Amino acid sequence: MSGSADLHRRLWKENADLARASLEHPFVQGLAQGDLDQDAFRRYVAQDAFFLRAFHRAYALAAAKCGPVTPLAILRRVESLMTGVLDELDLHAGYAEELGIDLDRVDPHPATFAYTDFLLRTAWEGEPGEIFASMTPCMRLYAWLGQELEEHDHPGNPYHEWIRTYGSEEFAGLADEMESLLDELAEDTDAVRDAYRYAMVCERDFFSAPLGRGE
Amino acid sequence: MGHDFDRSRLAVGAGDLWEEATRARFLDAVGDGTLPEEAFDRWLVQDYRFVSGLSRFVALTVAKTPREAQRVVIGGLAALDEELEWFEDHAEERGLDLDAEPHPVCRRYVDYLIAAGYGEPMEVLLAILYGVEVAYTVGWGRLEAEGPYAEFIERWTHPDFQAYVAELRDLADAHRHPDQQEHFDRVMEHERAFWRMTWEG
């Protein structure tokens, strides 16, 4: 469990192109401007709820692989991140009720399956370091997008709540937590770099799906 | 041929997807001898990457399969080992690098198989495996075994291979599960995407 202190920063920097592609994505810009089609947002919430269930399972598998002498402090942090996912799912349930979506009957888009299959394949097959590398982009990217969008946010934006959630200090804290786990558990290997980058690709494609552009 | 896979429960249940997964420009071009070498090489490398993943999936299936069904699946696993070698020989002849990056379409297919292999019950895995193999034998089986790729056509239309696929069909039918069709359909979607990729790059 050696890890490398700066790994999360290096990976984030190396994938800045993909982070920017997400920020500039029409879906995200639609959230920022407040003019995103509500049906697209509805589809996004449904897909994201499906995704988050897989994300939660991936944490559980990572925790199961942490080994018998893993410090309790680490396991406690994993547990707090898992709780964070459940809180996010509660938030989605709130949206779903408002928007009239049945989250138990989601028909996952190919881009959603691509992402969840990748996460779960990694979670079942990989070491904890690789698993966290596949999961970190989701946290860091959303925290970053939330903060970027918050600069021009205002309560009149119909997506104000979404921006406020991911731009919050609380969510940034979860992303920090995730990155420190990554630094502690992951080595700078090809598998780790590849998992991180591919997750960033999946994130970008995930935003295309609700606009009907994903494949 | 006599197995009538087109009329098996899962193939019928897949509706249009069944046709879309078993007919492809790539295969038509193999059949009429117009396939560009570049497409064939792409197929060979990506199919090798796919079969490497598939053999891991089949190993997971062996682990979950009850005793009376194991012989069939273990036989399939051994055949895949031999198939990988056969691909390696062909790749060497043609000077192809089998360690090349998997195409995103190939990667998604393998991610799906491995995630399912660990997470889904045995009955579903049998339906998935039947889907993978039946799509192949039926797709290639629509061609006459002639022309520059006759060896490849023969391989997946060989009576032994078809008998194996029929055994998988019977196992999937004997071990029913409500999620079988959904997963068979997902395999068909991956097959369709894979064929498109081999043709379009």
Please check whether residue A173 touches B, CB under 8 A: no
Cα–Cα distance, A35 to A48 (Å, whole number): 20
Candidates B107, B108, B115; nearest CB to A120: B115
- The model's confidence at residue B113, banded by pLDDT at 50, 70 and 90, is very high
Q: Which residues from chain B sit within 8 angstroms of residue A114, using beta carbons?
A: 108, 111
ipTM over 0.95: no
Q: Which residue of B has its CA nearest to A194?
A: B101
Residue ranges in B142-179 assigned as alpha helix (H): 150-157, 159-174
Among chain A residues, the shortest Cα distance to B56 is held by A125
Nearest to B62, CA basis, from B47, B72, B51: B72
Size (chain B), residues: 201
The segments of chain A whose pLDDT lies below 70 read 1-3, 213-215
Its pTM stands at 0.95
Give the pLDDT confidence of B149-188 residue by residue, as tens digits: 898 899 889 999 999 999 999 999 999 999 999 999 999 9
Contact B46, B194 (CB under 8 A): yes
Mean local confidence (pLDDT), B117-146: 96
Closest CA to B165 of B140, B121, B111, B129: B129
CA distance A45 to chain B (A): 22
**Chain A residues within an 8 Å CB radius of B186:** 113
Q: What pLDDT does residue A215 have?
A: 41
**Distance of residue A7 Cα from the nearest chain B Cα, in angstroms:** 24
Shortest CA gap A164–chain B (Å): 33
* Shortest alpha-carbon distance between residue B193 and chain A (Å): 10
Q: Do A117 and B189 touch (CB under 8 A)?
A: no
Q: Work out the end-to-end distance of chain B between its first and last CA atoms, rounded to an integer number of angstroms.
A: 32
Q: What is the pLDDT of residue B145?
A: 87
The mean pLDDT value for B11-29 works out to 97
For residue A55, how many C-alpha atoms fall within 13 Å in the half-sphere facing its CB? 27
Contact across the interface for B112 and A113, Cβ inside 8 Å: yes
Residue-wise over A39-72: b if at least 16 C-beta within 10 A, else e? ebbbbbbbbbbbbbebbbbbbebbbeebeeebee
